[in-house]
Amino acid sequence: MSDDNAPQPSVAPTRPPTKSASAKSAPPKPASRGARQTATYLSKRLTAAGLRPVSKYGQNFLIDLNLVELIARSADIGPHDIVLEIGTGVGSLTSIMAQQAGAILTVEIDQNLYQLASEELAPFPHVKMIQGDALKNKSTFRDDIMESIRDAKSRLPDDSKFMLVANLPYNVATPIVSNLLHQTPPPDRIVVTIQKELGERMVAGPGSKDYGALSVWVQATCKAEIVRILPPSVFWPRPKVESAIVRLDVDHERRSAIPDLNYFHQTVRALFFHRRKFLRSVTISAMKGRLDKPTIDEILSRLGHGETARTEELTLEQISELVEALRQAELNQL
């Protein structure tokens, strides 16, 4: 991870340039980028700068402009909305969104790509860039990123929305999405390109092979859908797996109904650590040193979970009831 955590300028909400702007300052039209957003164009541009994709950063550029535009279109970005983008790349998606959003904060870990994207995004004063890692560690966003988001949101109209819209690097997709759902303010919407397998886990239901802690965490706070499955051929370099555009609409009422988000998330992860074992054994393991076996047995019996019940078979509502019962039992011991 980068150690570049120096304070960055806050995002300044500014209306995108209008059609009446001079030719010199007017933003390029999406259509004008069609011939450029290709493997050949990207290869030549990076080569000219003495660069090549860096695998450790999960760099796979989306080279189908129609799909780049689909990502932006799926987010329904409005003129008062603030967008966070993780993985600026060469700024292709950023440039399209800049013609729609009130403010954009885009983060790029690769210093060389940061410089290239800076040239592409120069016409947009309401786009601010940060060079570095979006995560302070695996469980926390960098403080200056969320501070910039909060500052921009405070200066935008009350009906403004905060969104994460990005072609996410595969190696940080799970921590980015999971951690952002903890943040204040939480996003109103997330539209991201991620591994197909990860997208399927987010929308999976009880009893399926993909159902797990991520499924429960996402669905407990969001309405989730897969917008489009993408083949490797639409990326450069080609990844070894299929990808998916996923849209998550945060249900603020559902999210606020969870008494303790951190407790819920951590407990769900513990309950699914051995997802195919019997529920009683995984619950005892998850609550070791916190609740004794008789208390756990009483909770499971009260909630109607028999000896052969397994975590992977429980519905979202059943898991929520169980986690809250465990939390209350812990509080009663204080």
Indicate if the pLDDT at residue 24 is higher than 50. no
Tell me whether residue 306 is exposed, middle or buried, using C-beta atoms within 10 angstroms of its C-beta: 0 to 12, 13 to 18, 19 or more. Answer: exposed
Q: Is 62 annotated as a binding residue?
A: yes
Q: Is 60 annotated as a binding residue?
A: yes
Percentage of residues of the chain with pLDDT beyond 70: 86
pLDDT tier at 49 (50, 70, 90 boundaries)? Answer: low
Taking residues 173-193, report their average pLDDT.
Answer: 95
Taking residues 125-149, report their average pLDDT.
Answer: 92
Question: How is residue 290 written in tokens?
Answer: 């916190």
| Segment 87-102, tens digit of pLDDT | 999 899 999 999 999 9
Whole-angstrom Cα distance, residue 117 to residue 2? Answer: 18
Name the DSSP letter for residue 93: H
Total residues found in the chain within this entry: 334
| Segment 240-253, tens digit of pLDDT | 999 999 999 999 99
Which H/E stretch holds residue 289? none
**Nearest by Cα to 106 from 116, 269, 117:** 117
Q: Is 262 annotated as a binding residue?
A: no
Indicate if the pLDDT at residue 111 is higher than 70. yes
- Give the sheet arrangement for strand 189-195, strand by strand: 127-131, 103-108, 82-86, 162-167, 189-195, 243-250, 222-230
Q: Is 87 annotated as a binding residue?
A: yes
Higher model confidence: residue 24 or residue 277? 277
Indicate if the pLDDT at residue 47 is higher than 90. no
Q: What is the mean pLDDT of the chain?
A: 88
**What was the pLDDT predicted at 226?**
98
**What was the pLDDT predicted at 11?**
65
pLDDT tier at 55 (50, 70, 90 boundaries)? Answer: low
Indicate if the pLDDT at residue 16 is higher than 70. no
Which H/E stretch holds residue 104? strand 103-108
Asked if 162 contacts 81 with a C-beta cutoff of 8 angstroms, the reply is yes
Q: Is 50 annotated as a binding residue?
A: no
Cβ neighbours for 30, distance < 8 A, ≥ 6 positions apart: 65, 69, 95, 96, 99
Indicate if the pLDDT at residue 62 is higher than 70. yes
